[in-house]
A = this chain, B = another copy of it.
């Protein structure tokens, strides 16, 4: 009997990963653990596969007599307004959550974790290779997310070094697409929900800070290949993201062209907002040859607009 555990499976990326896992035929159960803090039950409402079991629980509290063959830990808020509002809970979800979930891994099982490009902080090199040690202010207002992700990377690579645990760690750069919370608070979904409601587009700061937006389908393609399809034993950390770097203001203007009546308004910058962010994909090209972000941000934004329109009942 093969049992899979997906923590954070009701979230934006987690629910897409659940869909990919459910395409497989080589397991008996997929247990999704989610406390529905930032995840939404709606994200898995379409699933009818009887192998899916949903448990509403914190990752750090979840108990089970089953030992799992594969654990996917995506249980974390990922948007600054959410983790900045509840930093203690963010650290607990990631670090205490991973400590707990590790105890539920079957001997010889695989533990996969979605870390983040935020481990690089406000990077002083561009693009960022996995070997870059980062520039994170560990006492700053974004640190609960950045440091807890760094700490879980440490936990997993140390579990690998000292106990031979099979780990797979990715560092996700910015991701956008359907199933983002309408109140997520990050740029693309913010802009889209704003224009769909006829509100001004708000940009924090001058908008010249750049990001590398990957459409969720492309990102989950990489996760699926890295975590199980390609059979690689490379543990990571592996940068996963779009290496086309785009200023926030450019995305806003693109969306504005689709909704020309909407103004762009600048608000004060978010504290310690990184000025740039772009993955070095050298290792990616070796580990998952042929993978790239195929969906342009223009295309991805259009698809995301369609999804939000339906989601918000504006179709």
Residues of A within 8 A of B (CB): 84-88, 91-92, 95-96, 99, 102, 119, 121, 133-141, 143-144, 146-148, 150-151, 153-155, 157-159, 161-163, 169, 237
Contacts and interface: CB of A to CB of B under 8 A. Distances in A.
A138 B158 contact: no
Prevailing SS type, chain A contact patch: helix
A128 to B, nearest CB: 13
Contacts of A159: 87-88
Given A136-B133, A138-B134, A87 B143 contact: no
A144 B155 CA distance: 6
A137 to B, nearest CB: 6
A147 B150 contact: yes
Copies of this chain present in the complex amount to: 2
Contacts of A92: 99
Contacts of A87: 154-155, 158-159, 161-162
Given A96-B99, A148-B151, 4 more contacts: A85-B162, A91-B158, A138-B154, A139-B157
Contacts of A141: 158, 161
23 contacts: A84-B162, A85-B162, A87-B159, A87-B161, A88-B99, A88-B159, A88-B163, A91-B155, A95-B95, A95-B151, A121-B133, A133-B134, A133-B135, A133-B137, A133-B138, A134-B138, A138-B154, A139-B153, A140-B157, A141-B158, A143-B154, A144-B154, A150-B151
